[in-house]
Amino acid sequence: MNSEIREIFHDADPLSIIHYPLSINIVSFLPKPTIAGHSSRSVPRELPVKVNLDRTSSGFCIGVQGTIHVAEQKLRETGSLYSLGDIVHNEVEVRRLEALGLITIDENTFSRIYNTSVLVRAHGEPPSTYETARNNNLRITDTTCPVVSKLQRTARLLHELGYQVVIYGKSTHPEVIGINGQCDNKGVIIKHADLSDPEETAALALDRKSALISQTTMDVPGFYELKANLEKLFSSHTGEEPQPWLAIRDIDITADMTGVRQMPQLVFKDTICRQVSSRNSKLRDFALSNDCIVFVAGKKSSNGQVLYLICREANPNSHFIEDVEEIDAAWFTLADGRKADSVGVCGATSTPMWLLEKVARHIEERYGNDAPATPEA
């Protein structure tokens, strides 16, 4: 990573939750609002007083910021760049970058292009991708997130040390495909922390030394639930009391690699990204402090799904959207018929801040206190 990108990472997100006032009152130029499910006559003034935009725990994480920054720089220089897979799990942002010249390709196309540059996104890629690039004389613009690179290295070393690498994650997620590639695709991927999927557990060899790691965007409680269930399962195989798997650090792996000290047979490393998990409690507080939550993320974003569920648990009046067209004014009237006093706008680590601002502005303009009342029909 170059120093410029590092600087951007360090500059990330210094602001706190702000009230999002319109600096210019443009509402009088807007079309009269029509609210889904209501006749225009019934459109009330009973609409949100204020819109709060969450700048603390929403918006791009450092990994995605780095990727987007590099892509924009390359596009400015060359006007065109291939991205292997969606650059970020957010359709709206992908479309914006495609308009600047980004071309999204799948693996099949990647294997059939030559002598050009291809961007590897923050999720990272398995070793086979780099091999294809070498064979096809492709220049890789590698924006793998440093957190993911570290995780890939951990997976590779554990595999080399003979551990059965158990990955808490989704088998189709690109990051997991990249991690598993480091283990010669022999990792055991488990998505169901309660071990309820027999296909997933059937892949486990209960007599092997094993190491549990995680996709960076999985939930922390799920990871520890899976660890506890693996402890029970592995001990039931030997007929012994469940023994806790031991937490390991990088230094333990190095010590084992160099023959200084062997690691135990059953170990785990919590590799969940704190850029994600540290947002959980802040987002929960944000959801609790607003009458209504509009959560903005791409439907394919697994981090978006996790964070949205946190919002919905804290505030059942939470709604998931990809863009402003999906907003329904009925959300801003509470179950008891009162208007919502506040609407909170927040999103995932893959949601650009400009999109969150657009949604906040849209709600403020259409449904804020200063919005024009709908005339009588």
Q: Which residues bind ligand SF4 (CB under 6 A)?
A: 61-64, 122, 145, 147-148, 216-217, 273, 275-276, 349
Of 126, 191, 174, which is closest to residue 152 (Cα–Cα)?
126
CB of 200 to ligand SF4, least distance (A): 23
At 319 the three-state DSSP class reads strand
Q: Cβ closer to ligand SF4: 179 or 273?
A: 273
What is the spatial distance between Cα 48 and Cα 46, in angstroms, rounded to a whole number?
A: 7
Place of tokens 């495909």: 177
Query: Shortest gap between Cβ of 246 and ligand SF4 (angstroms)?
Result: 24
Backbone φ and ψ for 339, nearest 5 degrees, come out as -75, 155
- Minimum Å gap between C-beta 93 and ligand SF4 is 14
In the complex, least distance from residue 146 CB atom to ligand SF4, rounded to whole angstroms: 7
Closest approach, Cβ 150 to ligand SF4, in A, equals: 9
**CA–CA distance, 324 with 358 (Å, rounded to integer):** 8
* Closest among 89, 69, 246, 83 to 173, alpha carbons compared: 89
Select the residue whose beta carbon is closest to ligand SF4 and give its number: 63
Nearest to 306 by CA among 93, 69, 61: 61
Q: Which is nearer to ligand SF4, 74 or 279 (CB)?
A: 279
Question: Residue 244, Cβ neighbours under 10 Å: how many?
Answer: 10
Of residues 64 and 133, the one with the C-beta less far from ligand SF4: 64
Tell me the C-alpha distance between 85 and 110, whole Å: 10
Q: How far, in Å, are 55, 181, 209, 318 from residue 173 at the CA level?
A: 27, 12, 25, 26
Tokens representing 148 are 């993911």
| Residue 175 or 256 with smaller CB distance to ligand SF4 | 175
Q: Which is nearer to ligand SF4, 177 or 276 (CB)?
A: 276
Distant-in-sequence, close-in-space partners of 17: CB < 8 Å, separation ≥ 6: 52, 53, 54, 55, 56, 286
Nearer to ligand SF4, 63 or 344 (CB): 63
Residues 46 and 240: their CA atoms lie apart, in Å, by 63
Amino acid at 224: Y
Shortest reach from residue 218's CB to ligand SF4, in Å: 11
Catalytically active residues are 175
Nearer to ligand SF4, 129 or 215 (CB): 215
Structure token pair of residue 3:
């120093």
The dihedrals phi and psi of 130, each to the nearest 5 degrees, come to -70, -30
Q: Do the Cβ atoms of 349 and 64 come closer than 8 Å?
A: yes
